[in-house]
Amino acid sequence: MFTDIHSHVIWGVDDGAETAEETFGMLKAAVADGIDTIICTPHMTPGVYEFPEEDFQAHFREASEFIETEGLNLKLLQGAEILYTDSTPRLLREGKIPTLAGSRFAMIEFSPTHSKEFIFNALQKVAGTGLVPVVAHMERYPAIGKIDEARELKRRFGALIQINARSLTRKQPFFRRKFFDALFTEGICDFIATDTHAMEGRETCMTAGMKIAEEKYGAECARRLETAARGIIRI
């Protein structure tokens, strides 16, 4: 069974699920996809956009009740995918934005247009709060799209790296494939997660992603990815 540390399953708070029905469908799809724990990570942009916290809590409760009523083998936890802003380190330090399931891991997202300097500076500041930054879907940022940069951000800031399962299941250009090969064979990628947003188009695909990780990079690699995700919810 898998732990999905990146999911937009809670409806009405970001560009993820749009209705309660879609949330319910995505919860069932997650179970069918072999997932037994989801950390719900809605988009947050600290200090720029106000997060609809009341709606999130109400819809999270509704989703948890659905799981109970349906008897699904699924646990929902709370987190956030934090688009890095100037206010992020301060708000993290003050405990005003959530980490992943209350752990010491904070999922940080960047814009694909951010420079390497911006990203490294941001990771340094997040690490300076005492938390461990988890770079959401690292494959999306051209400025740090090479293996040397992946090694560097781990070495300098202790950052962890998450790749979307869908990026493994989709055919990738040659240099992206080489980047993935190095990330996984060197054990630099820490997590794969679904980043699911919808029932269709950006649906869950954890089993397929893990299967590819196992086939291409070995059973040990797949086990390591699974254990790392479970580790977050234990810490």
Question: Which amino acid makes up residue 173?
Answer: P
Residue 81 interacting with Fe ion (CB under 5 A): yes
Angle CA 73–77–81, to nearest 5? 130
Strand bridging mode 2-7 / 43-44 = unpaired
Work out whether 4 is an interface residue with Fe ion (CB under 5 A). Answer: no
First to last CA, the chain: 19
Strand order in the sheet with 75-78: 2-7, 35-40, 75-78
Contact 76/32 with Cβ under 8 angstroms? Answer: no
Asked if 33 touches Fe ion (CB under 5 A), the answer is no
CB of 196 to Fe ion, least distance (A): 9
Nearer to Fe ion, 139 or 195 (CB): 195
Task: Identify the DSSP state of 107.
Answer: E
User: Residue 132 or 134: which CB sits closer to Fe ion?
Assistant: 134
- The distance of closest approach from Cβ of residue 218 to Fe ion in the complex, given in angstroms and rounded to an integer, is 27
Q: How far is the CB of 109 from Fe ion (least distance, A)?
A: 7
Task: Identify residues 120-139 at the interface with Fe ion (CB under 5 A).
Answer: none
Give me the least distance between CB of 115 and Fe ion, in Å please: 21
In the complex, least distance from residue 5 CB atom to Fe ion, rounded to whole angstroms: 10
Report the residue number, 189 or 217, with the smaller CB distance to Fe ion. 189
Look at the chain and count its residues: 235
Distance of closest approach, residue 136 Cβ to Fe ion, in angstroms: 6
Q: What are phi and psi of 168, to 5 degrees?
A: -80, -35
Give whole-number Cα distances, 17 to 104, 124, 153, 166, 200, in Å: 27, 32, 32, 18, 10
Contact between 190 and 152 (Cβ < 8 Å): no
* 195 in contact with Fe ion (CB under 5 A): yes
| CB nearer Fe ion, residue 23 or residue 217 | 23
Site string for Fe ion, 138-177 (x = CB under 5 A): ----------------------------------------
Part in contact with Fe ion (CB under 5 A); list of ranges 23-31, 78-86, 162-170, 176-184: 78-86
Nearer to Fe ion, 74 or 82 (CB): 82
Closest Cα to residue 184, out of 202, 167, 207, 203?
A: 167
Give residue number: closest CB to Fe ion: 195
Query: Residue 219: how many CB atoms within 10 A of its CB?
Result: 10
Among the listed ranges 68-76, 79-87, 177-185, 200-208, the one in contact with Fe ion (CB under 5 A) is: 79-87
Which residues are at the interface with Fe ion (CB under 5 A)?
Answer: 81, 195
